[in-house]
Chain A
Amino acid sequence: MSSFVEVRDVWKIYDMDGIKVEALRGANFDVEKGEFLGIVGPSGSGKSTLLHIIGGLDKPTKGEVVVEGVRINELSDEELSEYRNKVVGFVFQMFYLIPRFTALQNVEMPLIARGVPREERRKRAMEALEMVGLGDRAFHKPNQLSGGEQQRVAIARAIVGKPRLLLADEPTGNLDSESAKSVMEVFKKLNREHGLTIILVTHNLELVWYCNRVIRLADGRVKRIYRAGEYREMLSSMLKSGL
């Protein structure tokens, strides 16, 4: 049986004016359906790069990523857009909302790309906002919302199209601990109650308690995979190595 997401010997080499930067050097792991997977590792270890490749925003230099049995590095530009629109949802550290649109309009955007009629997409965007607890902020512009609220709008946008895989890159990196908690609670709900598969990249080691498995990345490779019972061991090992 193949896994929901398979990462097979993925390399990413950036060429900066002849200087080769190896962001990923043969990353290998699987993600099962319904998992809440954490990815930790020092800055520059290739976490974001890996997430971009899984999400179809970037292509690996070598190796392949298979999602639901589809080799996504073989998709055309147009198919990749469709993949990003339907299969995955992205949440970024910087929220990346479009300032001129209201929360509701921002959440509607993936459905606009999909050609969903106005009435229906309004309804679905409203439902997504309610799911992240922001039904009463639908007509606020991003600059009228707190950081935590903006990030929850971004989560609503990521889930409005009912994706099968949610990719979050340091979603709490710009938030205070209170807001971070509210955001993480939303992820937890989506994972536990809706069975959404989540891959969470984080620097904040406290967040690993939300995950059922954690991948430790170092120098573009998977250093070790920890199960839920092994987090204390992981934390002490990471503290020892100074990360």
Chain B
Amino acid sequence: MKFSDYTFLAFASLKERRGRTLGAVLGVIIAVVALSLALGVGESFQIAFKEQMEKTLAANSVYIFSSIGLTEADLAYYRNIYEVEDVFGIAFETIKLIDPSGVKTVTLVAIEPRWLPEFLGVTSLEDLIEEGSYDMSGLGVIVGSDVWKDPQTGQKLRNVGETLTVQVSGGKAKQITFFIIGLAKETGGIRGPGMNPDNAVYMEPEAFFTYIAKRRVYNLVVVVAKDSKYVSNVEKEVRAFSPPHARVFSPAAMIKQVSIFVTALQTILGVVSSVGIGVTALWVFDSMTISVIQRTREIGILKAIGFKSRDILLLFLMEAAVISVIGSISGVAIAMLLSSLVRIPVFGYTLRATITPSITLLSIALPILANLVASLLPARRAASLDPVRALRYE
């Protein structure tokens, strides 16, 4: 028997049992869409998270947080660690913006202008500013996008050159007026270390320590290693030098941990979606078993006119293969279409599923394999039927 004849006969019998065939194909499609989207979204989340982390928190840095604050002396210790390229400190203060519309809480961030790109995850200062300048000095500040425009409507609320009056609760001055020198671009995505970088006002540290802060301490210190391969070493040393109230972490380690977590999540999603494929395989098994019984006499006829047992076996396997191939290819096609049209919110990201080649391969191969295994038993039963008995079957 020829391959083309197996497909011809398989199609003919599938066409005759349209309802069952359609049901099985639909089952495969749904299972494949679920599987590839689940894996695809996991993949996207992994990629997006990693990118964001690497952008905002450089992979070769170690971060030290302290609400009490780290002193210049602490920074000097860190600078002395061999393998450390640079160290910079950032101070935070919660302030209240006084607006015609009301009072709004934002974070005042004291940071050297040259470290701003690193802190906000952009490559250069030019990429940072929507309008105005980035040269912060004295009371000239850069405001984050949520401060100068309405986060909902996008309507512009503040302009370069205007003043910004804020209330400082724990600081020296009760009220202070800044000049807006620059409007920062929207950073989007991840909410930086304990704050939202869009809902912030950035100023130069010297002025901050002069006018706002009571003490010259930093809430966040970033230690940049000479190379990302030194990070774990640097992290160890930083821990040794840090005061007990400080919390130390490195993005590299964190990315790794999240990545492990996401992979586990992806595996669980994959396993859950595979249940769908298993259910479809059971359906294929069931429908094949019924089909073999219903077509007992036909099998007898085929054997009587010279079809070999192997031909009958392959004929039934071909039917399962046709169902699975059509189902899984359409399923992957639908999943790809959906992934390009629909964004799915996951932990604060809105993601499109990334259907990688390996996901495609898995989503196509798995149902084909499962359905072939499921139809093996009924197909073998069909192949081993005794022709005389099969012909007599009513």
The answer to whether A181 has its CB under 8 Å from any CB of chain B is no
Expressed in whole angstroms, the Cα–Cα distance for A71 and B309 within the complex equals 21
The answer to whether A122 has its CB under 8 Å from any CB of chain B is no
Q: Which residue of B lies closest to A157 (CB)?
A: B305
B308 touches A81 (CB 8 A): yes
Taking CB atoms, residues of chain B closer than 8 Å to A92 are: 391
The answer to whether B341 has its CB under 8 Å from any CB of chain A is no
Taking CB atoms, residues of chain B closer than 8 Å to A52 are: 388
Count chain B residues whose beta carbon lies closer than 8 angstroms to a beta carbon of A: 26
Binds A, one of B124-132, B155-163, B266-274, B294-302: B294-302
Taking CB atoms, residues of chain B closer than 8 Å to A98 are: 298, 301
A: contact size bracket? 20 to 34
Can you list, as one digit per residue, whether each of A103-124 has a CB less than 8 Å from chain B (1) or not (0)?
A: 0000001101111011000000
A82 touches B297 (CB 8 A): no
Q: Which of B372-394 touch A at CB < 8 Å?
A: 387-388, 391
The answer to whether A172 has its CB under 8 Å from any CB of chain B is no
The answer to whether A226 has its CB under 8 Å from any CB of chain B is no
Main secondary structure of the interface of B (DSSP, over half): helix
Taking CB atoms, residues of chain B closer than 8 Å to A110 are: 305-306
Expressed in whole angstroms, the Cα–Cα distance for A77 and B385 within the complex equals 12
Minimal beta-carbon separation of A47 from chain B (angstroms): 13
Binds B, one of A83-91, A199-207, A231-239: A83-91
A84 touches B388 (CB 8 A): no
Q: Which of A55-83 touch B at CB < 8 Å?
A: 55, 57-58, 77-78, 81-82
The answer to whether A96 has its CB under 8 Å from any CB of chain B is yes
Minimal beta-carbon separation of B27 from chain A (angstroms): 24
Q: Which residue of A lies closest to B384 (CB)?
A: A77
Taking CB atoms, residues of chain A closer than 8 Å to B122 are: none
Taking CB atoms, residues of chain A closer than 8 Å to B297 are: 96
Taking CB atoms, residues of chain B closer than 8 Å to A78 are: 308-310
The answer to whether B342 has its CB under 8 Å from any CB of chain A is no
Taking CB atoms, residues of chain B closer than 8 Å to A4 are: none
Q: Which of B16, B300, B306 contacts A82 (CB 8 A)?
A: B306
Q: Which residue of B lies closest to A158 (CB)?
A: B305
Contact status of A86 and B306, CB under 8 A, knowing A100-B13, A113-B1, A115-B2: yes
The answer to whether B12 has its CB under 8 Å from any CB of chain A is yes
Contact status of A96 and B301, CB under 8 A, knowing A52-B388, A112-B5, A113-B1: yes
Contact status of A113 and B311, CB under 8 A, knowing A84-B305, A90-B305: yes
**Cβ-closest 3 pairs across A and B:** A85-B306, A81-B308, A113-B306
With A57-B391, A85-B305 given, name 20 new contacts (CB 8 A): A52-B388, A58-B387, A58-B388, A77-B309, A78-B309, A81-B307, A81-B308, A81-B309, A84-B305, A96-B301, A96-B391, A98-B298, A98-B301, A110-B305, A112-B1, A112-B9, A113-B305, A113-B311, A114-B306, A161-B306
